[in-house]
Amino acid sequence: MKTTLLPEKPDARSPAGADIRFIMDGQSGNMIHSTVPPHQTNRATVHATVSEFWFVLEGHGEIWRDDGQESCVTDLIPGTSIDIPAGTAFQYRNVSDQELKFICISMPPWPGDSEASFVGGIWQPSTGDTQAR
């Protein structure tokens, strides 16, 4: 059994551009806390093998998802949950003056940044957020 506390500072940056804090990991998946600064638009990506569940904690954003058959933009507001199945292109942005914060669960566990490929999205990524760390 594990117990963790939310780290005070980000541990890394996601390939798309969000600041992330590692919360929990296990054999079947892992969980992170993501923060997107005000008015930041992240890079559009697609994951090869990992599916994700998100739960929005704070802020207001939007996410575009396209699985090749359906494409939609969904508001990201507190209390909203979404899924991102493996192979789904997605791009998200913060449309408010406060930080957008959400919990992300990856299944299986995130194997590394090579999992994500960059694709064309529907919004122009913010200046300075075009390189993954």
Q: Which residues contact 131 (CB under 8 A, 6 or more apart)?
A: none
At 127 the pLDDT is 53
- Is 11 in contact with 84 (CB distance < 8 Å)? no
Please state, in angstroms and rounded to a whole number, the distance separating the CA atoms of residues 80 and 119: 25
Band (3; pLDDT cuts 50, 70, 90)? very high
At 133 the pLDDT is 29
The CATH superfamily label for domain 16-111 reads Jelly Rolls (2.60.120.10)
Q: What percent of the chain lies above the pLDDT cut of 70?
A: 95
At 113 the pLDDT is 84
* Position 128 pLDDT exceeds 60: no
At 129 the pLDDT is 42
At 131 the pLDDT is 40
User: How confident is the model over 12-49, as pLDDT tens digits?
Assistant: 999 888 999 999 999 999 999 999 999 999 999 999 99
User: How confident is the model over 61-117, as pLDDT tens digits?
Assistant: 999 999 999 999 999 999 999 999 999 999 999 999 999 999 999 999 999 889 999
Q: Residue 37 belongs to what H/E stretch?
A: none
Task: Give the domain ranges of the chain.
Answer: 16-111
